[in-house]
Structure 1
């Protein structure tokens, strides 16, 4: 354990972090704690993320009452109009690509919209979809050509990855289309590779810390 607080408090923070219930400063403080090498909290976060996903899928779908969507959108629109100009300007920074006309600022990015940008890793390009400045996270599409590699790295914050196409490989795992992976803050990904090429949906902080590859015990 590497805790500066009681184990109960650390466990509670891990649960709140996994649910996205910590405010910005609390989340950053907890991520620094994870980055300090607390394996116990990293395991707790991963377990809480898994449990939260299971609870979400375990709830039977229900149809909301008629008119709820229209009322909700009307309320959001009214709040946006009442906000001071500086607040509206700040919120507009998080709107990328495009919004559909008449959609009350709901974000829609069409498949052919946005620009792909090459990264420093050969064969790897990204397309930015959304920036959440409140939580310092970026939603991106990542495209890897067959044989492309991403070096070993440490995550500055939690990273969620959904494989949309192709395959994604680490030393210990192979992910295919439809597979999901969540890496807690402070965790380390060994080199990522792909044989067929891959298209990934990533929600994560803007950057990660490149590290030297670890030796993996056989």
Structure 2
């Protein structure tokens, strides 16, 4: 059974929740509260989330510089890799790898690069308003949102959401209104789409 007073409180906070403006603890509490909210309250929250998703497309698209892929691949190749010890384990310390700015609003931190398999595991950070250029995948790409939110392949993703793009697929521009931190496992041979 739903609590009408609690539903009213959730409805009043729905817009802030959709904008992820409540703060981490309040966001989590709101998400838990939605599980017992009325259907109409959940629908209202979903409507606000739809509006927030559309906001991502309301601004003009800003194309990254044409040299982005070349700079990205050069930086990946220069990134030192810790040799796997005899145990077969590789450890990367958070302070041991610097963020690299790829374009305004777009940074990466390479965690591992397998040159033989042309695979890279990285943290990708989109600043508020940041974009990642569209690209073709020669191999599978996996994308897990750790913090914030983004619009990827037309879908709104937030912390905890996972996306997989199969080989030979094309991602349109990925954007983030509020900022996003994602763990990405992808090919180092992705082809930018202009």
Question: Larger % of strand: which?
Answer: 2
1:60-109 superposed Cα distances (whole Å, 9 cap, x missing partner): xxxxxxxxxxxxxxxxxxxxxxxxxxxxxxxxxx972577xx88351112
> Secondary structure of the residue that 1:178 maps to in structure 2?
coil
Query: Hey, what does 1:108 align to over in structure 2?
Result: 91
Deviation at 1:171, TM superposition (A): 5.7
Deviation at 1:162, TM superposition (A): 0.7
Deviation at 1:195, TM superposition (A): 1.2
1:103-146 superposed Cα distances (whole Å, 9 cap, x missing partner): 83511122222111111x32111111112234220111111110
Q: Residues 24-39 of structure 1: matches in 2 within 5 Å?
A: none
Deviation at 1:155, TM superposition (A): 1.3
- Structure 2 Cα separation of the partners of residues 207 and 165 of structure 1: 26
Query: Hey, what does 2:183 align to over in structure 1?
Result: 201
> Secondary structure of the residue that 2:95 maps to in structure 1?
coil
Deviation at 1:149, TM superposition (A): 0.8
Provide the alpha-carbon RMSD of the alignment: 2.6
Query: Hey, what does 2:18 align to over in structure 1?
Result: none
Q: Structure 1 stretches of 5 or more lacking a match?
A: 1-93, 213-218
C-alpha contact 1:97 1:114 (8 A) present in aligned 2: no
- Structure 2 Cα separation of the partners of residues 172 and 143 of structure 1: 18
**CA 1:145 to 1:98, structure 2 compared with 1: closer, same or farther past 3 Å?**
farther
* Structure 1 position 130 matched with structure 2 position 115: no
TM-score by length of 2: 0.54
C-alpha contact 2:118 2:189 (8 A) present in aligned 1: no
Query: Hey, what does 1:96 align to over in structure 2?
Result: 81
C-alpha contact 1:152 1:191 (8 A) present in aligned 2: yes
- Structure 2 Cα separation of the partners of residues 151 and 175 of structure 1: 17
C-alpha contact 1:95 1:130 (8 A) present in aligned 2: no
Q: Structure 2 stretches of 5 or more lacking a match?
A: 1-78
Question: Would you say how many aligned residue pairs link Structure 1 and Structure 2?
Answer: 117
